[in-house]
Amino acid sequence: MANEHFTFPANFLWGTATAAHQVEGNNLNCDFWVLEHTPGSPFVEPSGDACDHYHRYADDIAMLARLGFNSYRFSIEWARVEPEPGEFSRAALDHYRRVLACCHDHKLTPVVTFHHFTSPRWLAGDGGWEDKKTAALFARYCERTAAHLGDLIGIACTINEANLGAYQYLIGTLPLKLDPSRLKWLSEAARRIGADPNRFAPYLMCDQMKARDVMLDAHRLATAALKSSRGKYPVGISLALGDLQAMPGGEARRDRIKAECQDIFYEAARGDDFIGVQTYTRNRISADGTLPPEAGVETTMMRYEFWPEALEATIRQASAVAKVPVIVTESGIGTDQDDRRIEYVARALNGVARCIRDGIDVRGYCYWSLLDNFEWISGYRPTFGLVAVDRATQARTIKPSAEWLGKIARANAMNITD
């Protein structure tokens, strides 16, 4: 293999990513807090204090800057900003203003996500992401938030992995919809917030194809709201993109999945400032469904295949169809072996470099995630972070992978192989 010392474009974003519910702690007013505290739910544990990033953000951001990164992607929690419909919390907005200011103090470009899976209880209990009116409610929240924060936002991502539910349904890892009449825990979660179980529709728990369409509309309306509010910054959407590989006979199924959970979003992004690519692995599609990893291949703590080359494939596809610049808003691995994290990221970055060398406009790479955090249904067991977090003391321990990636970020260059 030929080695090449590759320099990334000037102003390339080197960042890590977090999501509010996964790191802030005590996000009491959101739908997922209710779900994870309902007996019988699939969550292995509640989020609790998470990484206490709500209070420790200044130290975490300073650490990120010291490591050599120049960007930080984080989300604003809708349930904190609008705890009741139409009631906006100045205190919550001021908190996020301090987070943004801290990023600027450390010369980090803040990449702000307005929705990262969690929603206010009141929204989820009244039709949530199945209801068309949610698109306008989301846009209102974005407009009010940007009016307070927009002058400090560096880049905005409306919705995180807006296609995820449709993607997981189409590849067979989620049902079309969870049925509260057959799932006592889901019905009980609705009851706990005084909602009709048939109207209780948190993201990823609702009708995935209805949610897909509402998310598309919400992105469109939110983009217009952000563009018309305070500040000027690029606006885009992030997508969950597996490298869909057809096995013999699986071409038609692969193409249908691609059309319904990827292409429809690429086409919607054509007028945007960028598209956020979030890729972790490949999916092998046969005529009969999605195949599991082959026996004996390396898998991650999330049980999917160790396949960092997927990122190059999805960048190329997103760029070719959406025809807008790409930011890798998430790429990473859940592993307890930090040398495998370095290997995974090195190979993923090789793919990013090849894309740039071929003329594709890739503007940044955000590793998921900064901290070992709350990984939804799986709790704190999968460790994606560049930084370990002691669950008892909240002490942070920088892993070798963080130093390694920070050195690349500082140099804006690395050795790649073909």
User: 39-73: per-residue pLDDT in tens?
Assistant: 999 999 999 999 999 999 999 999 999 999 999 99
Count of Cβ atoms closer than 10 Å to residue 338 Cβ? 16
CB burial string 32-57: b at 16+ within 10 A, e below: bbbbbebeebebeebbeebbbbbebb
User: 348-374: per-residue pLDDT in tens?
Assistant: 999 999 999 999 999 999 999 999 999
Spell out where 81-169 has E strands. 109-115, 155-159
CB burial string 272-306: b at 16+ within 10 A, e below: bbbbbbbbbbbbbbeeeebeebeeeeeebbeebbb
- pLDDT confidence of 3, banded at 50, 70, 90? confident
User: 210-229: per-residue pLDDT in tens?
Assistant: 999 999 999 999 999 999 99
Spell out where 116-178 has E strands. 155-159
Mean pLDDT in residue range 177-185: 94
Domain positions in the chain are 3-417
- CA angle at 377 for the pair 371 and 381, rounded to the nearest 5°: 45
Indicate whether this model's pTM tops 0.85.
yes
Of the chain, the percentage scoring pLDDT greater than 90 comes to 98
By CB atoms closer than 10 A (0-12, 13-18, 19+), residue 86 is exposed
Distances 185 to 38, 191, 263 between C-alpha atoms, Å: 6, 10, 35
User: 280-290: per-residue pLDDT in tens?
Assistant: 999 999 999 99
How far is C-alpha 42 from the geometric centre of its chain's CA atoms? 21
User: 139-173: per-residue pLDDT in tens?
Assistant: 999 999 999 999 999 999 999 999 999 999 999 99
- 1 has pLDDT over 70: no
Q: SS3 for 389?
A: strand
Contact 239, 315 (CB under 8 A): no
Per-residue model confidence (pLDDT) at position 417: 87
- Please provide the DSSP assignment of 291-325 as one string: EPPPTT--B-TTSSB--TTHHHHHHHHHHHHH-S-
Active site residues: 161
Contact 119, 128 (CB under 8 A): yes
Contacts of 411 by beta carbon, 8 Å cutoff, 6+ apart: none
Given the candidates 3.40.640.10, 3.20.20.80, 3.30.200.20, 1.10.1380.10, the CATH classification of the domain at 3-417 is 3.20.20.80
Taking alpha carbons only, the member of 143, 28, 21 closest to residue 86 is 143
As separate numbers, helices (DSSP H) first and strands (DSSP E) second, the chain gives 15, 15
Averaged confidence pLDDT in the chain? 97
- pLDDT confidence of 418, banded at 50, 70, 90? confident
Mean pLDDT in residue range 395-404: 98
